């Protein structure tokens, strides 16, 4: 079993409140979950209205497939005009990693 994660650190466009941020982030998270069948959540900067950290996790039987799903999610976020990606951090965990059995 392999788990690929992709953390997207991004600035949001024309957002002036946490309420507007939620109205923007909630549909993005829902669409990524539906489109790619992954676990996804806003995992950072919840108290800042123009910045977000969204983490996507994919579980697969092969490392290549887990990476491909993470790549696709990253590309999907990059194509969104309402966000500006500041950084992306990707990780791959496998059955032989320390702490994973």
CATH number of the domain at 32, please.
3.30.70.1120
Taking residues 73-99, report their average pLDDT. 88
In a domain, 82, yes or no: yes
In a domain, 47, yes or no: yes
Instruction: Give the pLDDT of residue 13.
Output: 87
Strand arrangement of the beta sheet that strand 51-60 belongs to: 39-44, 51-60, 2-12, 83-94
In a domain, 85, yes or no: yes
In a domain, 100, yes or no: no
Using DSSP's 3-state secondary structure scheme, residue 85 falls into strand
Over residues 65-80, the pLDDT tens digits come to 999 999 999 999 999 9
pTM value is 0.87
In a domain, 99, yes or no: no
Other beta carbons less than 10 A from residue 39's beta carbon: 14
Angle formed at CA 50 by CA 45 and CA 55, multiple of 5 degrees: 45
In a domain, 43, yes or no: yes
Whether the per-residue pLDDT at 99 is higher than 60: the answer is no
Which tokens is 53 given? 């950290």
- The boundaries of the domain holding residue 59 are 2-94
Instruction: Give the pLDDT of residue 95.
Output: 66
In a domain, 101, yes or no: no
Over residues 22-81, the pLDDT tens digits come to 999 999 999 999 999 999 999 999 999 999 999 999 999 999 999 999 999 999 999 999
Instruction: Give the pLDDT of residue 100.
Output: 43
Q: How far apart are CA 84 and CA 24, in angstroms?
A: 13
Q: How many domains does the chain have?
A: 1
């Amino acid at each position: 079993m392999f788990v690929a994660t992709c953390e997207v650190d991004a600035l949001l466009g024309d957002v002036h409140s946490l309420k507007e941020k939620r109205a923007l982030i909630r549909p993005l998270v829902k669409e990524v979950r539906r489109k790619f069948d992954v676990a996804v959540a806003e995992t950072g900067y919840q108290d800042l209205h123009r910045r977000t950290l969204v983490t996507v996790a994919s579980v697969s039987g092969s490392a290549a497939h887990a990476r491909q799903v993470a790549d696709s999610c990253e590309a999907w976020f990059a194509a969104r005009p309402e966000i500006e990606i500041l950084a992306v951090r990707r990780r791959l965990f496998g059955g032989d990693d320390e702490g994973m059995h």
